[in-house]
Amino acid sequence: MRNILHLVLGVLLLTSSFGCETPAVSARLVVIDDNDVFQSQNLSQTRGSASYEEETPLPPPECETSTNIDEDGDGEIADMDCDDHNPLVYPGAYEWCDYIDNDCNGQTDESWHQMFDGVFGETCTVIGDNDCKNIGIWGCDFTRDWVTCNATPRTPETETCNGVDDDCNGITDDTWPELGNWCGIEHEDCMFSGVWECDPYSGLPYCTAENKEAIPDDCDPPADGN
């Protein structure tokens, strides 16, 4: 009998060690004394022994789903937090200038738009060395707590044929005064006309007549008239 009781206690401890995800199985220990005869439709007649009578398995208990989850640790549960993966975002949070709806009110950077009314998205200019200017737009600063022009100041560079005042002397592509002027290429008794333009690949000027194809009876005569 003592061995049987130890077995029962072991089964109960094993069952209690599983979480709510483990299906529960119900069993009733039936002990048959040497002097008794117990009859059951689920248990055959047994004398001087012990057996388990299995009952219909019970469904697994419902695990209680907690609604108090706060994954980002900002003090607001997920059901109320519009972004539970960002600790800077929750109802009533400070609205940073970061293009994010921090306070979960459906608006983004609204306080900053009000403070700098008409500035956001507008063109701005920054000036670097030798009065080198660069164009950008007004937006949120990297500190997230102010508004700034997002352009980076430039420094003087070697002039390249690209439509930009690289050396910041106030004149664009001044190294090539021929830009915009007429140019021609003679080929097979024809003179193809074009203009000098900047080549975006080489950074040097080229004559657009180079791209023209010879078409019979459709070309300019050579410059000398021959």
Q: How far is CA 116 from CA 97, 123, 139, 149, in A?
A: 11, 14, 10, 13
- Residue range 212-224: average pLDDT? 55
Residue 58 scores a pLDDT above 80: no
Residue 222 scores a pLDDT above 80: no
How many other CB atoms are there within 10 angstroms of residue 192's CB atom? Answer: 20
Measured between alpha carbons, how far apart are the two ends of the chain, in Å? 130
Query: pLDDT tens digits for 107-159?
Result: 999 999 999 998 999 999 999 888 888 899 999 999 999 999 999 988 899 99
Give the long-range contacts of residues 94-100, CB within 8 A, separation 24 or more.
96/144, 96/145, 97/140, 97/141, 97/144, 97/145, 97/146, 97/147, 98/140, 98/144, 99/140
How far, in Å, CA of 149 to CA of 125, rounded? 7
Instruction: List the structure tokens of 132.
Output: 């080198």
Residue 33 has phi, psi (to 5 degrees) of: -75, 155
- Residue range 51-71: average pLDDT? 60
Query: pLDDT tens digits for 27-53?
Result: 444 444 444 444 444 444 444 444 445
CB within 8 A of 120, min separation 6: which ones?
109, 112, 113, 138, 139, 147
Residue 221 scores a pLDDT above 80: no
Q: Give the range among 20-24, 26-30, 55-59 with minimum mean pLDDT.
A: 26-30
Instruction: List the structure tokens of 43.
Output: 């248990």
Residue 184, beta-bridge partner list: 193
Q: What is the pLDDT of residue 100?
A: 93
Q: What is the pLDDT of residue 67?
A: 63
Residue found under tokens 């022009």: 149
Domain ranges of the chain: 2-54, 158-226
The whole-model pTM stands at 0.46
Q: What is the pLDDT of residue 69?
A: 85
How far, in Å, CA of 88 to CA of 109, rounded? 13
The 147-149 sheet, strands edge to edge: 123-127, 133-140, 147-149
Residue 196 scores a pLDDT above 50: yes
Q: What is the pLDDT of residue 41?
A: 43
CB within 8 A of 128, min separation 6: which ones?
134, 153, 154, 155, 168
